[in-house]
Amino acid sequence: MDNPFKYGTLVTGTDFVDRDSEIRELVRELRSGKSVVVYSNRRMGKSSFLAEVARRHKKDFIFVHVDLYGMTSRTRLLEDMAKKTIAASYGKTERVIVAARDLLKGLAPRFVFTDRGTLGLEFAQREPSHSEMLDLFDLPETIAHAKNKRIVVMFDEFQEIAALDGVAILKSMRSRYQLHKSAVYVFSGSKRHLLFSIFEEYEGAFYKFARPMELGPIPRDEFEGFLVEKYRSAGGRLDLRLARRILDVSGGHPYYTQQIAHELFDITNTPASDEDVDLAIEMTIAHQSPAYSALWDSVKSPLHRAYLVAIASDPGPTRGWEFIKRHGLKSPSHVQKAEKLLETKGIIERGHIVDPLFALWVRNLQREY
């Protein structure tokens, strides 16, 4: 039987779990012309969430998806934004090429095939001038107005723009986007503190420009039913109690829930045992272990590592003197320094480890010594 559980790729349609209320909320804001900033931890399914919104509402809006992860330069970003906006709006390759040459005359665009065999766009003038950059930021509004249809530009991992002359480009973006009536924007990312500095701090370039929206774990009852039904649809059977055990470990985290269930289905598609679930969890952690080892190695300070161990093994809300003494953490000021550094790295948030399986890996690591 084909394994019905998908992870590590965009998940839409029947493989997508719940999020109905969040989708309704986001679409309501888009219809009203209000931009939104979507906060979520890594692997919480935000890219799949945005893809599912686009799938369900492709007749209502023109969707443009721009991923900033791994973007290497400001010019490359502008090229990618221009190509994807025109491609989403005009469809067929021939129309895209004609439209690009018309809309981007001064930049003399040329089309190339990328390493992945997809059509890419490059500017003959490698570095657009400031005025040309502003025109490129106006491109979604220009096309939306011409087509009389709202364009939704979805930026994934938007906080990465900080590495591309961040403050200057953000201010230029804001100066154009705040004038747009027919184009609307979704800014999503997984580093809350960086997004917060852009959208919520008074000095931030996009201060109060977009409505904040948090994408948290999927509700347990919805996910329990999904796991049981997916097993059944593939000809197997999963007891509700074991579905709850999976969610106890994953914390409702979409990526890890689907990965554990995937491993479990490979172990057995007949009624599983607690031992089967334990093995599926072990296999999932083993697959993530190289990444977790690299993450652990990136934390150089013994005190910071001690703090990670402390909150992994003692995740309660109390961080007072008893907690500090119990885990040998010296003083509250040392704890605050550790929290600040680990939050900057994206390892913790609000005093808790973001990745539930990394927390389990840290606990297991300590048992080995």
pLDDT per residue over 319-352, tens digit each? 778 888 888 888 888 888 888 889 888 898 888 8
- pLDDT for position 99: 87
Paired tokens of 172: 């230029």
Task: Say whether pLDDT at 126 is over 70.
Answer: no
Residue located via tokens 């986001």: 26
Give the pair of three-digit tokens for residue 264. 């479990």
Contact 105, 135 (CB under 8 A): no
Contact predicate 37/195, CB 8 Å: yes
The neighbour count for residue 324, using CB atoms within 10 Å, is 17
53: tokens are 């919104």
Q: What is the mean pLDDT of residues 124-141?
A: 87
Q: Indicate whether 8 pLDDT > 90.
A: no
Rounded to an integer, what distance in angstroms lies between the CA atom of residue 274 and that of residue 242? 7
Q: In which residue are the tokens 């999904």 written? A: 226
Looking at residue 92, the DSSP 8-state letter turns out to be S
Its pTM stands at 0.84
What is the mean pLDDT of the segment spanning 168-173? 92
Per-residue pLDDT tens over the stretch 253-290: 899 999 999 999 999 988 889 999 999 999 999 999 99
Cβ contacts of 140 within 8 Å, gap of 6 or more: 64, 85, 151, 153, 180, 183
Helices 74-90 and 130-137 cross at an angle (nearest 10°) of 30
The reply to whether 298-367 shares the fold of 19-214 is: no
Asked if residue 294 has pLDDT above 90, the reply is yes
Tokens of 31: 């219809």
Tell me the CATH architecture of domain 298-367.
Orthogonal Bundle (1.10)
Question: CATH number for the 19-214 domain, one of 2.20.25.90, 3.40.190.10, 1.10.760.10, 3.40.50.300?
Answer: 3.40.50.300
CA count, 13 A, side-chain hemisphere, 299 = 25
**Tens digit of each residue's pLDDT (9 = 90 or more) over 199-226:** 988 788 899 999 999 988 888 888 999 9
The full length of the chain comes to 369
Domain ranges of the chain: 19-214, 220-293, 298-367
